[in-house]
Each structure stands twice: as structure tokens, then as C-alpha cells.
A and B are shown apart, each in its own frame.
Chain A
Amino acid sequence: MGDPTQAEPSRAAPGGTWRSDRIAGAGLALFAAVVAWQTRTLPIGTLSNPGPGYMPLVLAAVLAALGLLVAWRGGESIALRDLRWPELGHAVKILGSCAFAAAAFEPLGFRLTVLAVSIFLIGVIERRPPLAVALVSFALSFGTFYLFNDLLKTPLPVGVLGI
């Protein structure tokens, strides 16, 4: 589906502007170069007897070539300045919550982690009424834990506090 927050692609005259495909293609080529550099620690083998580094090196070369092709063809892609990021602030907060969840998942346990993340997202970020925040957060943390851990027998972490 289309990105609802995406600006309409600008087809303005090329030249003198940073274009999205140019940047993306160059980024892919750079990533491929880093991968190729990393394969130096692996035996490449020979053409007839490839080693563990052979396939990553070949794929990195293919990705670099395709990245350069994308960049080369990217003269008419959307200009970087036309890309809108209205959701970026929100997205960063959500990512921060996810990072907290990943870090706290095992030490704090599923229920406390989800409770904290839900309260932060619904209460602090979305500024919903406290009662709704409490109800939804408890349902999400304790309800989901009961459904998956107890009913569906999918083990979820309980954390050092035993919750």
C-alpha cells in the first residue's frame, strides 16, 4: 500500500539536487563495499572450489553493481528535499520504546515491560485519558501474557521480580 505520509514524487528538472535514488543507490553500493571488506577474514576459495567467503563477495559485487545502476538511473527520482517526514518524531519515540522493550524484556519480564511501554505510548505520547491508559495497558500486558503463556503454552519471560 502507498505510504500515507509520503509526498508526491517531484519530477522537477534533474541536476543540482540530491535525488532519493541517487542517495539510496550510493548507500547500497557503500553497504556492499563494507560487506566485501568484511569478507577479507573468510577464506574465499577458488572459482572451482568456493570457500565460505565466496558467495558473500559475489553477492556484495552484485549489490554494488545494482546500487550503482539505481543511482545512475535516479536522476528523475524524488528530490530529497521533497521527502516529508512528518511522522519522524513519533517514529523515533516508538523505536525508543521498542529498544527499551528489547533491553528490559528478560530482566523485567513480559508483563512489566509491556505495561511500561503501553503506559508510555498511550499515556505519555498519545495523551489518552488515565483510565483508558490503565485499562488498555493492563489488558495488553496481563491479558496477552495469560493468553500466550498460560493458554497457548508459549513461554514468556517473567523477570527477576517474578512478575
Chain B
Amino acid sequence: MLDTLHNLALGFSVALQPTVFLYAVLGCVVGTIVGVLPGLGPLAGISLLLPLSFGLSPTTAIVLLAGIYYGAMYGGSTTSILMRIPGEAASVMTCIDGYAMTQKGRAGPALAIAAIGSFVAGTLSLVALMLLAPPLASFALRFGPPEYVGLLLLGLIVLGYMSSGSMPKTLAMAAFGLLLGTIGVDAMSGFFRFTFGVFELADGIGIVPVAVGLFGLSEILLTAGQDTPPQVQKPTLRELIPSRREIAESVWPCLRGGVLGFIIGIIPGSAHIISSFVSYGVERRISKHPEEFGKGAVAGVAGPESANNAAACGAFVPMLALGVPSGPIPAVMMAALMIHGVAPGPLLMEQQPALVWGFIASMYVGNIVLLILNLPLVGVFVNILRIPYAYLYPAILVFCVLGVYAVNSSVVDVWIMLVMGVVGYVLRKLHFDVAPIVLGLILSPMLELSLRQSLAMSAGSYAILVERPIAATMFGAVILLLAVSLGPSLTRGGGWRRLVGLDEAVD
């Protein structure tokens, strides 16, 4: 505990340096704008703005990108509540009761509850992240290749199990991403795989062009042709204050959402999206007045908003402690760290304490900045939505091309983005969740290398995957989950997933 406090002090000494602080604030502002803009979710936002971080130190870069991430989580709620437009996917559930509160003239309290709930849950989950990540990193030092094979397979199966759509479709997308990850030079034999004579493909397909194509470009293609500036309500500062009853009704949903969101955040998948669905389902289920949900229930705003912010923090636990991303956003952030020459993994906390703890401390700072930004300046941010889409999407498109090109100064990456944009457009029209593709892409080289290293260690015996206790436990969990989940999938039932509405979420 003393070590943690000592490290946190070190983190604050880094996070409060004027430059780092300035970039944290900049990240929060940009993230809020990204969150407010429909279609530009945190993943596309981070991918697009990655080039902004190239000239920065690794610490400042990760602080900037993290600011964009949770800024987008905050910003997404604003348009959900005021206009029933989810700025990003995790705010879909907030639309239901948030907008209903707006229609009842309670837009201000809804915004305040969302912002304060996000702040409380975000801060609590940061404490949990701080306490959980270091021991997990120490534990992960015992991991060898067989344990990583088990961990990655478990992660992929849990991703399918927890996804907000049909499990076979999610796993198919993950398998597609894993296949994309095999493109390039094979690390163990030096063979060129699926490069078709394109030299630039030798290093494999980058995560940024895939993410920008699947999320940024496909969104532009899906929403092209729309051009009606929406009507916007702008509550004054006085109107933001919730009533005593509203505060009382939001306390427990905030805390429950925080705990639920953090736990779901650690689990692989699009945690911030799933956590808001699950939190909404839980709140509705345990409410004494479930009939109020959909008609402006305070818990329907407080729970999901707290959960998605807590999940954003929880998602950093496996990234910082294990060097394994739990979702596409931590995957892009890991890629950003690697661009800056920092190798994520269990040793990161030991070798780069200033970076890791500076990053954690900056999230405390960012939460406060966002609380201050989001309430008084809400009117300023929603004004962005008055810009006609006819001007907005060409600008986003330019940033897509620029962001993708700038990573490697490669036009091939722009073509990859274009192809992935078409793939994302078609898959999303067909109700597929494209996030697992990004996760599969980044996990693929790790999985293949770990498997082949394991077999090299055991002279070709697969028994090594179940002989070691940690790996055996993980494989046991994989088999158990497959047995539990494939039953309902094959029989067209849905188990608990259909009960909480996850199966209907995308299908």
C-alpha cells in the first residue's frame, strides 16, 4: 500500500508537469468533441489523432490518447441526453432515459447526473486499477508461452461470450481479425505470407488503417447523405442542479454501475459498450419501479454512464499489467506505445514507473477536468452539432487519410483503410460487430508466437498447454465457457445473454 502511494505521488509529479497537464486537458477537450460528434467514437478518434502524438514523449502521448478516450466517454452522453443521438456506442442506453428526461424538461439534471456519475465511477475504478494492476503484473511475470496461449484463447472466447451480439458472429469476426494478423513475414521462419508481392505488407497490416477503416470510414459511408442540423437544447448552469430525489435515486446506480463497469472492463470485448447494456438491464431488473424505465428513470442514466466510464478504466488493467489489450481501444493505445519505443508487458510497471503512474495520475486529473468542462461548457460542445454534415464529413475523411498515412508515411496503409472501410460498411449493414476484428488483428501474432514457442519448449507436445497449473486453469475455463455457451448457440437458445438483451443488441 505504501508503495502504491509512493508511486502515485511520483505519478502526480509527472501528471502535474505543465506540458503533461496541458496535453491531458487537450486530450479531454478533443475527446469530448469526438464523443459529441455522432459516428466518431473513441476508437476512431484515437486512431485518427495518433499522429498528433508522434512528436511527444511516450508519457505525454499516452496521457493525450487516454484523455481522448475518456473525454469521448463523457462527450457521448451529452448528445444522447439532449438530442437522442448517441455520440458513441456506449451512450446508446443513455439515450433512452436521458432523452426522456430532456423531454420532461429535466435535461440539466440528466447531464449533471451523467457527468457526476461518470466522475465518481471513474475515480473509484482508478483506485481499483491502482490497487489491482501492480499485483497482477507481478503475477504475470510467472507467465510463459503456454500461459499466454491459454490467456489469449480465454480472452477470445470471453469476447464472444460477452459481446453485444450473436456469439458465432462475434467469434467469426475475431477469427477474421486473427487471419488478417497472419499477413506479413512469419516471425519464426521468415516466410512471406499473403503479401502478394506488396513489399509494405511484409510488416503485416497495421492496426490504425484497420481501425480507421472499420470505424471511421465505414461510419461516414453509412451516414452519408444526411444533412439536417439537429435541434439542440442548451440548459443553463442553474438548470443543471438535480433535485434531492434525483440525487438519492442516482447514488446506488452510480456505485453499482462503477463496480459492474470495472469488472466488465477487465474482461476482453468492447467493455464500455457491454457494461452500459448490462448496467441498464441490472438497474431495470432490480428497480422498484421498472415501469419508469424508458420514461425518464434517473437510474437509467446514472447506471450506464457510470458503468461505461468505469469500464474505460478497467480496460487498462490487462494492458498495463499483462501487456495484453482487452479491447480494440487499449489495442490501439498499445500500438501507440510501441510506436514510441515502449514495450508493453508485465515489466512495464517496473521499468517505466513514471510513464505508468503518470498515466494513472493523469486520469485522476482528467476526470476532474472533464467534470469542470462538461457541465458549464455543455452548450459550447453541442454547438459543434450545428455544423452541417456536408462540411463535417469531408473534414473527418481528410483526417482519416492523414491519420492513416502519417503512421508509416505509406499510401498502402491508405488503401488498406479504404478496403477495410468497405468491409466495415458491408459487415455493419449485415449487423456484425466489427470491434473483434481489431482485437484479433493485434492478438494474432502473440497467439501464434506463443503457441509455436510452447511447442518448441516441449519438443512438440501439446501436453505443455495443460501441464502447468496457470495454463491448465485457463484452458479449463476455455472448455467450460465453450460448453456453456455453444449449447444455447447450437440450440438457438441464448442463455443469460438473451435474458439481459445482449443477443438482440446487434442482431
Contact surface of A with B, Cβ cutoff 8 Å: 1-6, 9, 20-21, 23-25, 28, 31-32, 35, 38, 42-43, 46-53, 55-56, 59-60, 62-63, 66-67, 69-70, 73, 77-78, 83, 85-87, 89-91, 94-95, 97-99, 101-102, 105-106, 110, 114, 117-118, 121-122, 126, 128, 132, 136, 140-141, 144, 148, 152-156
Q: A70-B168, A70-B172, A77-B507 are in contact. Are A156 and B406 (CB under 8 A)?
A: yes
> CA separation between A141 and B447, bound complex, in Å?
42
Are A28 and B189 within 8 A (Cβ)? no
From B176, B226, B227, B429, A63 is in contact (CB under 8 Å) with: B176
* B468 in contact (CB, < 8 A): no
Task: Please give 4 more A-B residue pairs, beta carbons under 8 A apart, in addition to A9-B431, A63-B175, A77-B507.
Answer: A89-B225, A144-B398, A154-B54, A156-B405
Residue B451 lies at the interface, judged by CB distance under 8 Å to chain A: yes
Whole-angstrom CA separation of A105 from B220 in the bound complex = 20
* Contact (A48, B489) CB under 8 Å given A1-B38, A140-B395: no
Q: Is B98 an interface residue (CB 8 A)?
A: no
Chain A proximity of B443: nearest CB distance (Å): 12
Known: A24-B430, A97-B397. A87 touches B411 (CB 8 A): no
* B166 interfacial contact with A, CB 8 Å: yes
Complex Cα distance, B100 from A81, in Å, reads 34
Return B301 CB to nearest CB of chain A, in Å: 17
**Chain B interface, number of residues (Cβ within 8 angstroms):** 78
Set of chain A residues within 8 Å of B22, measured between Cβ atoms:
none
Q: Which residues in window 346-373 of B have CB below 8 A to A?
A: none
Q: 1/0 contact trace for B189-203 toward A, CB 8 Å?
A: 101011000000000
Q: How many A-B residue pairs have CB under 8 A?
A: 197
Q: How far is the CA of A7 from the CA of B398 in the complex (A)?
A: 29
B54 touches A70 (CB 8 A): no
**In the complex the two chains form, what is the Cα distance from A99 to B417 in whole Å?**
10
* The residue from B172, B398, B451 contacting A118, defined by CB atoms under 8 A apart: B398
Residues of B145-180 contacting chain A, CB below 8 A: 166, 168-169, 171-172, 175-176, 178-179
Interface-central residue, A43, A62, A94, by most chain B CB under 10 Å: A94
A55 to B455, CA, bound (A): 13
Main SS at interface, chain A? helix
Bound-state CA distance A32–B179 (Å) is 9
B51 at interface (Cβ–Cβ under 8 A)?
A: yes
A94 touches B397 (CB 8 A): yes
CB pair B397 A6 closer than 8 Å = no
Asked if B402 is at the interface (CB within 8 A of a chain A CB), the reply is: yes
B226 and A4 form a contact (CB under 8 A): yes
Q: Could you say which residues of chain B place their CB within 8 Å of the CB of A98?
A: 217, 397, 401, 414, 417-418, 421
A sample of 5 cross-chain residue pairs with beta-carbon separation below 8 angstroms, ordered by A number, consists of: A55-B182, A59-B178, A102-B415, A105-B401, A153-B54
> Which residues in B have their C-beta under 8 angstroms from that of A73?
166, 168, 489, 492
Please name all residues of chain A whose beta carbon is closer than 8 Å to the beta carbon of B222 when the two chains form the complex.
3-5, 87, 91
| CB contact between B175 and one of A50, A66, A85 (< 8 Å): that residue | A66
B223 pairs with A4, CB closer than 8 A: yes
Bound CA span A54–B223, Å: 40
Is B224 on the interface with A (CB-CB < 8 A)?
Answer: yes
* Chain A CB within 8 A of B131 CB: no
Q: CB-defined interface of B465-507 with A at 8 Å, one 1/0 digit per residue?
A: 0000000000000000000000001101000000000000001
